[in-house]
Structure 1
């Protein structure tokens, strides 16, 4: 049996002994433990350990040195430390909305944390077209509190600068800078995944649009240089566990001090992917309207609830004297909202033509319907990027979505996608 004094990548059968060594009081002495690997992400290995007698469970998440999507891409395992630390901070800023961390093991680069029992990964639930009525309320609370309360608006400036140093995350930021902000526009590393029926469309609308490239470049350097807020850095529906009444946000290993619009735009984009899947795969018109209508309403509500909570929290918690200047709150929030729209577009493009496509779209089996969904996504994405300063409330997103959908009506889709 290992004493865990030297790093190795664990397999499922290794994990029960690891938990018993590191947390000897968590399970009963007579526990009958089993373990399974449940992770479906690109970077890490996630194990659930269960006691067959009591049903009690715990999660162990270990950072590997290679990306699961590419053995040629290596990352620092320090991301596990960052994730454990930010979960602790977020747990204080947004109580009840992140899982509890029991232990971080710097040698094994492993986090042992609360199992989010009774919750489902949100992307999985959305692919089953499940509606989550409390999501907009929960995620807007999480974002308003974790983002605003970690800024210079509220924090002591020196304390904030110390956190900026602590959360420098060069490997994962480099991954984002390349895979999100660069390669989707030019395929410079020849790693993009483009759906063949849309190859010409992508060539014209994405690779060939130099005005789009300019705006994407501006957004890239905003991401790289604006140490505004302690952001999650990868906030999508695969980073959320949820049920009908409660939401958990997890998996913040991409966290660093960056522009808060990056988190907000990511969640909005991934909600729209759910709309595209429902629109393409739900056969019954009434059921399709029920689910897709809820998604669009939720996109609106996330933005509007975030704005309202941000505004109130700012006025309640602002400490910087100059940030109290009349008109500054409106200016500051305006920059956040513009960046949010731009990032929504950036995320939609990279998940459609980049290396890491999203299951909501790739699981659409009908090639004509998938081609239409992707064209709607890319059209909306360009509007979000090119006209981002005009997105000031939830209704602005609804209007842009409806306009993108109208460009690709159901009738005649087959001819255009061929």
Structure 2
């Protein structure tokens, strides 16, 4: 990459430093292709830091001809500060993931324009007029093409990086390429699968209304066993290259386009984790919706769209994944020589369905884990946080926690995605007893 940049008039690699307005302007001016795309003299470019995530700096740079987005990793967790150091290598893994995802699911991730590993910096296309999907959902926006786009992304990136699609040696090379991203995996292992279930210093929740619930979750050993089994799946099952943080804040969308961003948590892990992340966040969007109403019932059509999206997401993903399996199974798993003839083909088809049933159970469990961490852990969702009335916020969160606990402990009762949406709908107007 460095040699390519030098050949095109780019700068040599630098030692790491945090780039601010003037530094970034000067750095980009040395990148011939980027500067040409922006247009005009560098002193006329506008540079705005817009990052609202937990980890990184994000800039929008505009010139006379166009704009770009620039993301630079910080050597610590931005949400917490320098007391929580974090490797800059996560930017390298994000770059690798973006390139890989672009090859497997063209048009569904932003195009990379430049990567500087030493500066932990990626310049990419500026997505306009896209907005963060989570913010659109809070406003009640429906996205008619979202399900088609996200299921294509999920089916292709997961299947085509799995043992079903690639030879074992190639799969192992992929695992090795992302194995160094263990610091980001550790964040997931702690913040999702461990800390919400004990009195971790960084946990927070809507107090005092959820105090009793937080205590109950910390004392629920059935739940602790379930989340520990799920944590083991996350750590020990390198099924495919997963995004690793695929919530509605990692999706930018319009009514016609969907782009998946921020894959810095990418590694080879269980497929159900990505699926569960998307579905869990849609469930939270649905159960938070009541908190964003100005008048009773005004968001019912939006809420129905969310429920339909949840159901269609699993149905379409499953259809596309199995279709890929039937047509592009070039991996070493389920060798064709073992399933010859009509009887063999029928048996393999039954096994595909059994595989999808197992994947669905994983998806339900991971969905539950994602919901619980966003309410009782460190990093919360604005779906709930932007509900101004704290008691109403706690009510929406309590509904979500009640559903998540059932999904975690009674997974086999949720045999279909319709069972999940029926349960969510039943809790839409449930009133928790906060006491006092």
TM-score of the aligned structures, taking structure 2 as reference length: 0.90
What displacement does 1:336 show? 1.3
What displacement does 1:24 show? 4.2
Q: Deviations over 1:40-63 (max 9, x none)?
A: 111110001001x33x10111000
Match of 1:307 in 2: 318
Match of 1:64 in 2: 74
1:347 and 2:356 aligned: no
What displacement does 1:392 show? 4.2
Q: Secondary structure at the match of 2:71?
A: strand
What displacement does 1:131 show? 1.2
What displacement does 1:297 show? 1.2
1:385 and 2:408 aligned: yes
- Which residue among 2, 13, 17 is the counterpart of 2:26? 17
Q: Deviations over 1:102-151 (max 9, x none)?
A: 11101111001111111111111112111111111111111011111110
**CA separation of 1:59 and 1:333: change in aligned 2, threshold 3 A:** same
Q: Secondary structure at the match of 2:128?
A: coil
Q: Deviations over 1:57-105 (max 9, x none)?
A: 0111000001011122111111111111111111111111000001110
1:175 and 2:187 aligned: yes
Unaligned runs of at least 5 residues, structure 1:
none
Distance between the aligned counterparts of 1:151 and 1:391, measured in 2? 26
What displacement does 1:285 show? 3.5
Q: Secondary structure at the match of 2:38?
A: coil
- Which residue among 104, 109, 131 is the counterpart of 2:115? 104
- Which residue among 109, 113, 138 is the counterpart of 2:149? 138
- Which residue among 368, 385, 392 is the counterpart of 2:391? 368
Q: Secondary structure at the match of 1:25?
A: helix
What is the RMSD computed on CA atoms of the aligned residues? 1.7
TM-score of the aligned structures, taking structure 1 as reference length: 0.93
Distance between the aligned counterparts of 1:104 and 1:223, measured in 2? 29
- Which residue among 285, 288, 291 is the counterpart of 1:274? 285
1:2-401 maps to which residues of 2 (within 5 A)? 5-22=14-31, 23-30=34-41, 32-51=44-63, 53-54=64-65, 56-71=66-81, 72-168=83-179, 169-187=181-199, 189-196=200-207, 197-204=209-216, 206-319=217-330, 320=332, 322=334, 325=339, 326=348, 327-401=350-424
What displacement does 1:241 show? 0.5
What displacement does 1:383 show? 1.4
Deviates more, 1:69-78 or 1:397-406: 397-406
Matched-pair contact (CA < 8 Å) for 2:203–2:377: yes
What displacement does 1:184 show? 0.4
Q: Secondary structure at the match of 1:287?
A: coil
Matched-pair contact (CA < 8 Å) for 2:62–2:68: yes
What displacement does 1:269 show? 1.2
Q: Deviations over 1:366-386 (max 9, x none)?
A: 122112111111111111111
**CA separation of 1:33 and 1:321: change in aligned 2, threshold 3 A:** closer
Matched-pair contact (CA < 8 Å) for 1:303–1:393: no
What displacement does 1:157 show? 1.1
Matched-pair contact (CA < 8 Å) for 1:6–1:107: yes
Distance between the aligned counterparts of 1:21 and 1:417, measured in 2? 63
Distance between the aligned counterparts of 1:329 and 1:269, measured in 2? 24
Match of 2:8 in 1: none
Aligned length: 408
What displacement does 1:416 show? 3.4
Matched-pair contact (CA < 8 Å) for 2:164–2:334: no
Structure 1 residue runs of 4+, over 4 Å off? none
Deviates more, 1:298-307 or 1:11-20: 11-20
Unaligned runs of at least 5 residues, structure 2:
1-10, 340-347
What displacement does 1:13 show? 3.2
Q: Deviations over 1:334-374 (max 9, x none)?
A: 22111110000000000000000111111111122112111
Distance between the aligned counterparts of 1:329 and 1:295, measured in 2? 28
Matched-pair contact (CA < 8 Å) for 2:368–2:405: yes
